Amino acid sequence: MPIQEAMVPGKNDIRQAREYIRQRLAAEESMRGSLGAFMEEAAKRIVEIAYKYRVPPAMFRFSRNKELQEEADEVIRWLERQIMETAHRLSMLEWGNESQVETDSIFGKNHGKTFMQRNGIYCRRFKYELEGSIAAALIIGASKEKLLQSIKEHFKSPYTNPIFLQAMKEKSSATRLLSNGISYGAGRTNSMYTALEKLSTHAVSQGWMKHWGDMHEGAEGFYSFRGSSYPCATCDNMAGYHPISEYQGGWHLHCVCYFVFI
């Protein structure tokens, strides 16, 4: 058999590689769903705590009251743990044979910070997103239920929350809500939901793709196939055969190319 023919990946291998990507995407979706549920739960608990303390609306800050602050921080630590544990479970711990090296390659330092450090930073910023929404709700006299509903609906853009916008109109001080040096409102378009979603689904994706490489240890090379019809010059360029040294599990964030080993 000519060598070239032997190098062509079989239909069954292609099918399996594509199926593996489908399973990976399902794991990412599961991460996304869990993240949303955890953040909703954290918001619910923190709103309950905040309303309980009856801080004057115009002065609402978690730091206004030591116990309030501590209770809110406890919820944030709970949120951090849930995200960390779920990302671990969905990315690699479920394989049961991960080594410290593998765990480090995904959860260890990357561009100066570990997964846990970024997770902590984003969760604490989420607390301030909530603080802004709670302060706004207190200013306009919105109920806990209404506030929670609108927080959930605006996870991806907390400062377009109508409660927040209304409070800014009603009271000019709300436009300058400040806490720990973070100002809310105008010009802020990123959300911590988006940051945490990116962080956690990427870890899940990396874990799966690392495992896919490990499963084919000893291969000499691999074929890269486009997994979507979305225009991407990078993935178009990378389609085709590569020596094994070039395997990196994906060509960019959210890459859905699939890889068949030879």
Q: Name the site residues for Zn ion (rule: CB under 5 A).
A: 235, 251, 255, 257
Find the shortest distance in angstroms from Cβ 246 to Zn ion.
13
Residue at token pair 């706004």 = 136
Residues 77, 96: Cα–Cα separation, whole Å: 26
Please identify, using beta-carbon distances, which residue of 44 and 226 lies nearer to Zn ion. Answer: 226
Classified as helix, coil or strand, 89 is helix
Please identify, using beta-carbon distances, which residue of 148 and 235 lies nearer to Zn ion. Answer: 235
Find the shortest distance in angstroms from Cβ 25 to Zn ion.
13
Residues 131, 68: Cα–Cα separation, whole Å: 12
Please identify, using beta-carbon distances, which residue of 18 and 45 lies nearer to Zn ion. Answer: 18
Find the shortest distance in angstroms from Cβ 104 to Zn ion.
25
First to last CA, the chain: 16
Please identify, using beta-carbon distances, which residue of 170 and 236 lies nearer to Zn ion. Answer: 236
Classified as helix, coil or strand, 191 is coil
Find the shortest distance in angstroms from Cβ 237 to Zn ion.
10
Classified as helix, coil or strand, 261 is strand
Please identify, using beta-carbon distances, which residue of 219 and 232 lies nearer to Zn ion. Answer: 232
3-state secondary structure 199-243: HHHHHHHHHHHHHHHHHCCCCCEEEEECCCCCCCHHHHHHCEEEE
Q: Which amino acid makes up residue 134?
A: I
Strands 182-183 and 221-225: unpaired
Find the shortest distance in angstroms from Cβ 256 to Zn ion.
6
Please identify, using beta-carbon distances, which residue of 257 and 262 lies nearer to Zn ion. Answer: 257
Find the shortest distance in angstroms from Cβ 241 to Zn ion.
15
With contact defined as beta carbons under 8 Å apart, do 247 and 222 qualify? yes
